[in-house]
């Protein structure tokens, strides 16, 4: 995806972020068909469909929309996983480390990792205009990956 962002930056044209054409269809269709590399499909489609979608502002707006969608999925999956963990903890009785506590600590550590990882991605651009889209792309991909981890965990329960 970072390669796509770089290529798109090279072709950048002015855009008005409010006029983006975003839909989650490309990502949802990919996930339904159990395809690989679904994260970012809707942002890519948005950049292609939006007039000025390859500008820094257009890319940022499209990436942010898909990031928000993945963040919503992640929050839903985390909430459901926490409910499952709490139920399991009640059934298993008192222990030094509960499933709910372990899940919460894992998620907190993941957030710290995600933020550091994506800050590192952004600084690779040396403060240039590509830093914003690079960070958003990283946040989108990393959040999507974590969402899928929790969703798959729930499916296996």
Q: What is the DSSP letter of 18?
A: G
CA distance 119 to 39: 19
- pLDDT tens digit string along 5-36? 433 444 444 444 468 889 998 888 888 876 55
pLDDT number for residue 7: 39
Over residues 94-120, the mean pLDDT reads 96
The Cα-based distances of 16 to 32, 115, 136 in angstroms read: 32, 27, 18
What pLDDT, on the 0 to 100 scale, is given for residue 16? Answer: 46
pLDDT in tens, 45-93: 999 999 999 999 999 999 999 999 999 999 999 999 999 999 999 998 8
Number of domains in the chain: 1
Of 148, 140, 157, the closest CA to residue 4 belongs to 140
Enclosing domain of residue 138: 2-156
pTM over 0.85? The answer is no
Q: Determine the average pLDDT of the residues in 115-136.
A: 95
Stretch 1-6: mean pLDDT: 43
Reference 46, options 157, 127, 136, 106; nearest CA is 136
């Amino acid at each position: 995806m970072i390669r796509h962002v770089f290529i798109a930056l090279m072709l950048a044209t002015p855009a008005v972020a409010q006029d983006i054409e975003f839909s989650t269809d490309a990502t949802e269709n990919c996930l339904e068909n159990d395809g690989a590399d679904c994260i970012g499909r809707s942002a890519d489609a948005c950049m292609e469909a939006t007039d000025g979608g390859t500008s820094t502002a257009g890319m940022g707006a499209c990436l942010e929309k898909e990031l928000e969608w993945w963040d919503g999925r992640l929050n839903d999956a985390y909430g459901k996983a926490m409910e499952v963990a709490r139920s399991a903890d009640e059934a298993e009785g008192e222990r030094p480390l509960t499933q709910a506590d372990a899940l919460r600590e894992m998620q907190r550590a993941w957030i710290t990792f995600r933020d550091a990882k994506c800050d590192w991605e952004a600084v690779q651009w040396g403060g240039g205009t590509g830093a914003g889209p690079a960070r958003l792309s990283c946040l989108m991909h990393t959040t999507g990956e974590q969402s899928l981890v929790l969703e798959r965990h729930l499916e296996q329960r």
